[in-house]
Amino acid sequence: AALGEQGSAADAAVRQAETTLDAAHPGALREAVVQARTAIAVTDEQLGGWRRRQCEQAETVQRLSQRRAAKEHQLAALEGERATLAESDAVLVAEAAQAEAALTDLQQRLAPLERERQGAEELEVQLEEHFAAARRKRHEREEMAHTAQLALQAAEDRIAHLRDQIEADLGVVEMDELSAELPHQRVLPIDELVTTLPKVPVLREGLEEDVRRVRRRLGQIGAINPDAPAEYRELESRYHFLTEQSADLERASSDLKQVVGELDQVMRQRFRETFDAVNTAFQEYFTRLFDGGKAYLELTNPEDINITGVEIVARPPGKRPQSIVLLSGGERALTAAALIFAILKVSPAPFCVLDEVDAMLDEANVGRFRDMLVELARETQFIVITHNRGTIEAADAIYGISQSEGGVSDVISLALDEAIRQAKH
């Protein structure tokens, strides 16, 4: 507005000079006209400069507004992704808790069944021992009874033979005296055959010894247990019952072992798939962080995944492959960062804390490390403890810790997005 007023005043001065041209001195008038036109030119130039600056400021404001809108849109998208990731994480945590609870329940159910199976096996062994002992004893009794039966039959045959000889030699005698002397022996139905036998004043030599021998054999047989068949049937019924229980426990144990085997197979398969994916991502991030080189992961015992370890073999640019323990501090830090980034790529976590990982890195490595953080920050929130300016530049929010004179730590926070918005206004 001021420039416009100056231009109008200059125009008025020119017009006034022209109207008084005839009355004034011609040289002075020409000089006044030149001065007025010079003033107009200067004013026009200043006005053009102000207009150009105004256009530039308008363009700057428009550009900043567009960047602000883009940032706000990006922030909204990130908030949506963060909410989605939070929901996914909650679902995964719930599924993991359910799987852990199911595994714990299976283990708790398996433990008493395993104890019952062991108890049934021990009881089965004891019953087998008892049955074996009973069978041996029964066999011995049967052998003794068979031997006694044979001896008794032999004695009866001998008595019959002797009776025949007595009848042939002495005639018929009464059997009352012989029955009284042998009350425990089986009475043969001789009465049905003969009524009397000839009396023998003196028995044949050796007959009494035969009778005593037969009596000893009968005494060795021992008492007969009339409840033995019932006890045997009871033990046999108990044996069948425990055998069925043992079979049920065996089936339950087999089913549980099958479930455990299937879970173990799934765990092995998933471990192998995850290991291969992490190994591939690790090789990629290692090459990007080192700007060359090569690295890989290998299992120390690939035949048994349950006890295997993982070895890191790295070859930075210009070096031969070697274990991570032989690398320098900065190389170990970059290798560890590559492994962490690979794990986060395969299985993103809600957040990750890094404590001065970049402390031993030079400026070029810090730049690549920072680019990795920015790339992975779309899926994972990073909390980085650092003193490196290059890493701080990639942060969305900065928290500084300082100690006052009283020894109390003070926290100073700065949100970069908010600072940028304030700088725009």
Residue 46 pLDDT level (bands cut at 50, 70, 90): confident
Report the C-alpha gap between 369 and 357 in whole angstroms.
9
Kindly tell me if the per-residue pLDDT of 183 is higher than 60.
Answer: no
Report the SS3 class of residue 28.
Answer: helix
- Judged by DSSP in three states, 381 sits in strand
Packing angle, helices 363-376 and 228-290, rounded to 10? 130
Please tell me the distance from the alpha carbon of residue 197 to that of residue 180, in angstroms, as a whole number.
15
Which of 139-153, 171-185, 308-322, 385-399 is predicted least confidently? 171-185
Please give the share of the chain, as a percent, with pLDDT higher than 70.
71
pTM score: 0.43
Region for 240 from its dihedrals, namely left if φ exceeds 0, alpha if ψ lies in -120 to 50, beta otherwise: alpha
Query: For position 231, what pLDDT does the model report?
Result: 75
Beta strand pairing call for 294-299 and 322-323: unpaired
- 3-class DSSP assignment, residue 355: strand
- What is the mean predicted confidence (pLDDT) over 44-55? 83
- When mean pLDDT is compared over 41-45, 183-187, 274-278, the highest value belongs to 274-278
Which of the listed ranges 49-53, 91-95, 151-155, 383-387 does the model predict with the highest average pLDDT?
A: 383-387
Among 213-217, 252-256, 260-264, 330-334, the range with the most confident prediction by mean pLDDT is 330-334
| Per-residue confidence band for 182, with pLDDT thresholds at 50, 70 and 90 | very low
With contact defined as beta carbons under 8 Å apart, do 151 and 217 qualify?
Answer: yes
Over 80: is that where the pLDDT of 194 sits?
A: no
Q: How confident is the model at residue 279, as a pLDDT?
A: 93
What is the Cα–Cα distance from 314 to 316, expressed in whole angstroms? 6
Higher pLDDT, 98 or 124: 98
The mean pLDDT value of the chain amounts to: 77
Report the phi/psi class of residue 348: left, alpha or beta, with left for phi > 0 and alpha for psi in -120 to 50.
beta
49-63, 183-197, 314-328, range with the lowest pLDDT: 183-197
Mean pLDDT computed over 148-157? 67
Structural element, H or E, at residue 313: strand 310-315
- Picking from 18-22, 153-157, 173-177, 379-383, which range would have the lowest pLDDT averaged per residue? 173-177
User: Higher confidence at residue 122 or residue 420?
Assistant: 122
Band of pLDDT at residue 287, cut at 50, 70 and 90: very high
Give the burial class of 350: count Cβ atoms within 10 A of its Cβ; 0-12 exposed, 13-18 middle, 19 or more buried: middle
408 three-class SS: coil
